[in-house]
Amino acid sequence: MSETDTESLIGDEARAAIGSELGRAVGTVVQKEFQRWAAAVGDRNPLYFDEDYARANGYRDVVMPPMYLAHVTGGVVDLDELRADGIPIRSGGSGSVQLPRCPRRMAGGDDITFLEPVYAGDVITSVRSLAGLEQKSGRSGDFVLMHFRTTYTRDDGVLVAEAASSLIARPANS
Amino acid sequence: MAEQIYFEDVNEGDEIPSLSLEIERVQMFFFSAATYNGHRIHYDQSWAQGVEGYQDILVHGPLQVALLARAITDWVGGRGRLVNYAVQNRATAFPGEQLRFKGTVTGKRQEGETCLVELKVHGEKGQGQILMPGTATVSLPRRGR
């Protein structure tokens, strides 16, 4: 891939955001919210639903499903602040990295290390930064891989998890 | 839940029980709702097909990631824990397709009192088309502790 191609999908504004903090958000863990998530996954693990079972296995209460963590700090979105595809314009995430030539978004991947169990009532702060932007070529054309780093910290200062995640940004209908 | 599995019981090459299922539109709607996700590609068929060029609405990448995690956490039981989980979304899945989530033990080690098992995991569909390759590290209890 030539340097010209490399520059073509990633603009200066997006490139300048690499390394910067994109967003910081705080959320309180709500038992019913993570249970609704688990039920939507079809994951009826009793650790998430049955307090006695959770206690018998060393937890102090039902525990939050680890993969729910990314949703704890989600915000409130106004309907007039959505892109045409329904993604928030400013989400502290992908929407705030401007890639006008690549409007389509898809999950790329996750690499998460879980350090502490999380319970209902825990207050979690997530800090997300843009770790990098990579232009790639795939079967369905060129795309940009957006790399993020996120830390999740409880309000007593304990880091509960850290994540490297990525999103795929594709040109319109490529 | 199945019986608790212990560190001593696990050997390299062991396969974890696979999870096999089809995702239907209602489940996708509930997952969008549970994750506060308004992205049209997961519910607006005319958008997914006409604007984005997909054959149908797309099963959420994070739902597939969660299903693969479910296969892993079901296997480790109440006393096991997911320590690290890394997956890449490689292909798209559509409602009604048969999806399978699998894992194989690739190693085990102890770090102090913690007994760790390494897994190679993946989601697949069709004749084995890989949706999501990945790895996981889990901790398991030892017998008698």
Q: What is the DSSP string of B32-44?
A: HHHTT---GGGT-
Please answer whether residues A59 and A31 qualify as being in contact, where contact means their C-beta atoms are separated by less than 8 angstroms: no
Please answer whether residues A139 and A101 qualify as being in contact, where contact means their C-beta atoms are separated by less than 8 angstroms: no
Q: Is A87 exposed, middle or buried (0-12, 13-18, 19+ CB in 10 A)?
A: buried
Q: CA torsion sign, A76 to A81 to A83 to A89?
A: negative
A67-115 pLDDT, tens digit per residue, is 999 999 988 999 999 999 998 886 555 556 778 888 888 778 899 999 9
Q: Domain count of chain B?
A: 1
B54 within a domain of the structure (yes/no):
yes
Residues of B with CB under 8 A from a CB of A: 1, 21, 27, 30-31, 33-36, 38-41, 44, 47, 51-53, 58, 60-63, 65-67, 69-70, 73-74, 78-79, 81-89, 92, 132, 134
B71 within a domain of the structure (yes/no):
yes
* Alpha-carbon span A149 to B135, nearest angstrom: 18
What structural domains and CATH numbers belong to chain A?
A: 3-170 (3.10.129.10)
B87 within a domain of the structure (yes/no):
yes
Which tokens is A129 given?
Answer: 């930064």
Q: Is B49 exposed, middle or buried (0-12, 13-18, 19+ CB in 10 A)?
A: middle
The helix (run of H) or strand (run of E) holding residue A159 is strand A159-170
Does residue B95 carry a pLDDT above 90? Answer: yes
B53-84 pLDDT, tens digit per residue, is 999 999 999 999 999 999 999 999 999 999 99
B6 within a domain of the structure (yes/no):
no
Per the structure, the complete domain to which residue B51 belongs is given by 12-139
Question: When comparing pLDDT for B72 and B144, which is higher?
Answer: B72
Which tokens is B11 given?
Answer: 């050997």
Task: Select the residue of B27, B87, B88 nearest A40 (Cβ to Cβ).
Answer: B27
Name the 3-class secondary structure at B48.
Answer: helix
* Alpha-carbon span A77 to A90, nearest angstrom: 9
Band the pLDDT of A3: cuts 50, 70, 90: very low
**Residues of B whose CB is below 8 A from A85:** 39-41, 47, 51-52
Whole-number pLDDT of residue B25: 98
| Binary contact (A37, B60; C-beta < 8 A) | no
In the block, which residue shows the tokens 């309180």?
A28
Domain containing residue B17: CATH number: 3.10.129.10
Please answer whether residues A164 and A148 qualify as being in contact, where contact means their C-beta atoms are separated by less than 8 angstroms: yes
State the distance between the two ends of chain A, measured CA to CA, in whole angstroms: 18
* Other Cβ atoms closer than 10 A to A9: 20
| Binary contact (A107, B60; C-beta < 8 A) | yes
Please answer whether residues A158 and A116 qualify as being in contact, where contact means their C-beta atoms are separated by less than 8 angstroms: yes
B37 within a domain of the structure (yes/no):
yes
Band the pLDDT of A6: cuts 50, 70, 90: very low
Which tokens is A81 given?
Answer: 């602040």
B7 within a domain of the structure (yes/no):
no
Task: Select the residue of B47, B88, B92 nearest A108 (Cβ to Cβ).
Answer: B88
Task: Select the residue of A53, A85, A108 nearest B41 (Cβ to Cβ).
Answer: A85
| Binary contact (B86, A109; C-beta < 8 A) | yes
Query: Which positions ≥6 away from A149 have C-beta within 8 Å?
Result: A128, A129, A131, A162, A163, A164
Residues of A with CB under 8 A from a CB of B: 33, 36-37, 39-43, 45-47, 53-54, 56-58, 65-67, 70-71, 74, 77, 82, 85-88, 104-114, 117, 166, 168, 172-173
Identity of the amino acid at A76 = V
Min CA distance, B67 vs chain A (Å)?
7
B4 within a domain of the structure (yes/no):
no
What chain B residue is nearest to A77 in terms of C-alpha separation? B36
B135 within a domain of the structure (yes/no):
yes
Band the pLDDT of A153: cuts 50, 70, 90: very high
Q: Long-range contacts of range B126-131, CB-CB < 8 Å, 24 or more positions apart?
A: B126/B97, B126/B98, B129/B91, B130/B90, B130/B91, B131/B64, B131/B89, B131/B90, B131/B91, B131/B92, B131/B93, B131/B99
**Residues of B whose CB is below 8 A from A111:** 84-87
Min CA distance, B42 vs chain A (Å)?
10
| Binary contact (A85, B73; C-beta < 8 A) | no
Q: What is the rounded average pLDDT for all residues in chain B?
A: 96
**Would you tell me the crossing angle of helices B25-34 and A31-41 to the nearest 10 degrees?**
160
Band the pLDDT of B144: cuts 50, 70, 90: confident
What chain A residue is nearest to B91 in terms of C-alpha separation? A108
